């Protein structure tokens, strides 16, 4: 690596916290500021050219430019989405062909296969585990309610659920 970029890398390390505060103040989101800071670091890795007289000012200018680029990118995206939404609404109102948001045939077939596989696995559960599983997961009863209705302890319900889940996991993953 040549000398100019290593000097900028040292300055980056020295001013990293200040740069992060600078970007966070402008963006308002520390995660996105961190992302821009990473982008700045990547740009520094490929930096070449004559030595920079004021590394701190150079780094802050780079951070500002990255911020402005991100802002412009977001504005372009919002304009594109706005135009798309208007076009979609216009075509929808005009009765134009709008893509069907429902599942496609492949998704439907896969869902049916998974449902059949789950039904088959449920059918092979031991009776106690199947009853507890259905009451808890299908009917939405709490463990205490299931225990009360079946006349067993809450611990018994938990053991039946553990058996059912282990059995189903094994049946569905194999």
Dihedral of CA atoms 79, 85, 88, 93 in degrees, nearest 10, equals -130
What global pTM score does this model have? 0.48
pLDDT in tens, 34-62: 999 999 999 888 877 788 889 999 999 99
Q: Name the nearest CA neighbour of 5 among 35, 38, 41, 39.
A: 41
> Going from the N-terminus, what domains does the chain have, and what CATH number goes with each?
3-93 (1.10.1740), 105-173 (1.10.10.10)
Which are the contacts of 19, defined by CB distance < 8 A and separation ≥ 6?
12, 37, 40, 59, 60, 63
């Amino acid at each position: 690596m040549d000398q100019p970029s290593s000097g900028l890398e040292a300055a980056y390390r020295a001013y990293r916290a200040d740069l992060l505060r600078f970007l966070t103040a402008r963006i308002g989101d520390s995660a996105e500021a961190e992302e821009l800071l990473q982008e700045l670091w990547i740009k520094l890795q490929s930096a070449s050219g004559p030595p920079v007289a004021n590394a701190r000012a150079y780094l802050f200018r780079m951070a500002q430019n990255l911020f402005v680029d991100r802002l412009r990118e977001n504005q372009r995206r919002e304009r594109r989405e706005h135009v798309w939404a208007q076009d979609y609404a216009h075509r929808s109102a005009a009765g134009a062909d709008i893509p069907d948001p429902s599942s496609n045939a492949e998704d439907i077939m896969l869902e049916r296969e998974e449902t059949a596989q789950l039904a088959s696995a449920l059918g092979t559960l031991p009776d106690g585990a199947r009853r507890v599983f259905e009451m808890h997961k299908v009917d939405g009863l709490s463990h205490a309610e299931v225990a009360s209705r079946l006349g067993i302890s809450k611990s018994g319900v938990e053991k039946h659920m553990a058996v059912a889940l282990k059995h189903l996991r094994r049946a569905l993953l194999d």
